Amino acid sequence: MAITLQHIKPKAFCLALVTSNLLIPSALLVFAWGFFPYKAFLPGSASYTRDQLELAQNAPFDKVIFMVVDALRSDFVFSPQSGFQFTQELVRSGFAIPFTAHAAAPTITMPRIKAITTGSIPSFLDVILNFAESDKASNLEGHDTWLAQLKAKRDGHLVLLGDDTWLKLFPQTFAFADGTSSFFVSDYTEVDYNVTRNIPALLERDEWDGMVLHYLGLDHIGHKMGPSSPYMLPKQAEMDGIVADLYRALQSTKHLQSTLLVLCGDHGMNDAGNHGGSSGGETSTALVFISPKFGSKFEGLKCPTTPLDGSLIYYDKVEQSDVVPTLAGLLGFPIPRNNLGVFISRFLPFWKPEDRLRILQHNAKQILQVVTGTFPNLSFDGQNRSDSCEDIHSAGTRLACMWSRLEYLSKEDTTTNWDVKVAALYTVRSLQEKCGEKLNVRSF
């Protein structure tokens, strides 16, 4: 017999109605907790202590050209089918240091720019804000970023050419800007020419400290025709030609001799040419640090190459957020306060052994401030030291143990530099992972 409303007792009906009304907001709260998690935000800008100021004075670079090629998947640069022939030659000769940078979801431009400038983890709220037309919808004005730190260093001047998302995120930051819209996906020629046309004149001038170039054409080709489009290889060769022109300028121009060139993608693309999710193609981006100075410090690597496991992970894998503390060390400014990135240890040979440890310890202390802000109940008072922190079940107590061990080794006269370096790297990476578990958004 079918049950109708007449068969339900009034009290039971009211109870069911109240229960369902309570469950709806509870479900919304659970959803919001998962997709919009709490983030501890540390206001203000980082500054050096007197001890750290010496590290800044010994930084190997004083300018940076930050070249973003939208949707630059790792294989577009490092595989045998790549059009980046000049860049591959730099890798083979030791003048370019390659990585695969992991871009966490959501793999769209705005949150990825936030990650590579603040070192923090983006939110899925940025998926909505990425399409907002208002310049004030989501910006990082007042946030501590490597752009703000570089600008604050000796009253630096910054330049932007390309995607106007940077102008929405960083109003009043750039002394000169020529922005292009990222939403005319049918254009993959003029949108890049408008960036390139300004470069020669700017390279001749010495008053800028940071130049951001953001090319959109490759991403537009992916959206329209996919990564296997016949237009993809010529576009890669065009971008490689820009790298070649920039590198030759670093070699031949006196005021650019201490300039670091960084080539990277903000995200990758899947087999259909789209992005936003967490597939291997969308999260595996190319990252290359380039300088004539590298030739005396590093040996060349085989390039092109093919990953043995069939993935898109070429060379060492790093997080995109690791770009932030690495730029801070190489250019000599404090690590932004909300950074969760780890200094890429490959570049430590630029410093003396004792300074290398100070760089890692400075990074660890900076991330510790974010950890304590996110987990106020954790204690890092040095009372939890153990020789086998990995055996501790509680993640928070294990972190406190590793921190105590690092502090102990740093003060122990009989400890080798290698012991402290390993402890520092292990601790700072664990701090990063712990905050990532708390703050990281869910994948699509």
| Three-class secondary structure of residue 284 per DSSP | strand
How close are the terminal C-alpha atoms of the chain, in Å? 44
Q: Which two tokens stand for residue 169?
A: 């995120």
Q: Averaging pLDDT over each range in 129-138, 236-245, 364-373, 394-403, which range is the top one?
A: 236-245
For 406-426, letters b (16+ CB in 10 Å) and e give bbebbeeeeeeeeebbebbbb
Q: Which two tokens stand for residue 13?
A: 């009906």
H/E run at residue 374: helix 353-374
Distance of CA 414 to the CA centre of its chain: 37
Distance of CA 399 to the CA centre of its chain: 23
Write out pLDDT tens, residues 314-372: 999 999 999 999 999 999 999 999 998 999 999 999 998 888 888 888 888 888 888 78
Nearest to 247 by CA among 187, 298, 289: 289
Distance CA 206, CA 212 (A): 15
CB 101 within 8 A of CB 327: no
Distance CA 341, CA 287 (A): 15
Nearest to 86 by CA among 232, 263, 259: 263
What is the per-residue DSSP string for 160-208? Answer: EEEETHHHHHSTT--SEEEEE-S--TT-SSHHHHHHHTTHHHHHT--S-
Q: Which two tokens stand for residue 384?
A: 């939890």
What is the per-residue DSSP string for 216-261? Answer: -HHHHHHHHH-TT-TTHHHHHHHHHHHHHHHHHHHHH-GGGTTEEE
Write out pLDDT tens, residues 171-219: 999 999 999 987 787 889 999 999 999 999 999 999 999 999 999 999 9
Average pLDDT, the chain: 84
Distance of CA 194 to the CA centre of its chain: 25
Q: Which two tokens stand for residue 231?
A: 């237009």
Q: Which two tokens stand for residue 215?
A: 């090319």
Chain length of the chain = 444
Distance CA 94, CA 300 (A): 4
Distance CA 159, CA 150 (A): 12
Residue with tokens 């630096």: 156
pLDDT at position 108 over 80: yes
Distance CA 269, CA 266 (A): 10
Q: What is the mean pLDDT of residues 64-88?
A: 98
pLDDT at position 241 over 50: yes
Q: Which range (3-7, 119-123, 278-282, 300-304) has the least confidence?
A: 3-7
**CB neighbours (10 Å) of residue 99?**
26
With residues binned 3-state (H G I as helix, E B as strand, rest as coil), the percentages for the chain, rounded to 5, are 50, 10, 40
Distance CA 90, CA 250 (A): 13
pLDDT at site 125: 56
**Residue 50 identity:** R
Percent of the chain with pLDDT over 70: 78
Pairing assessment for the beta strands 316-319 and 176-180 based on DSSP bridges? unpaired
Q: Which residue has the higher pLDDT, 239 or 28?
A: 239
List, in order, residues 6 or more apart from 264 with CB less than 8 Å away: 66, 67, 68, 69, 72, 101, 116, 285, 286, 287, 288, 320, 323
pTM to 2 decimal places: 0.85
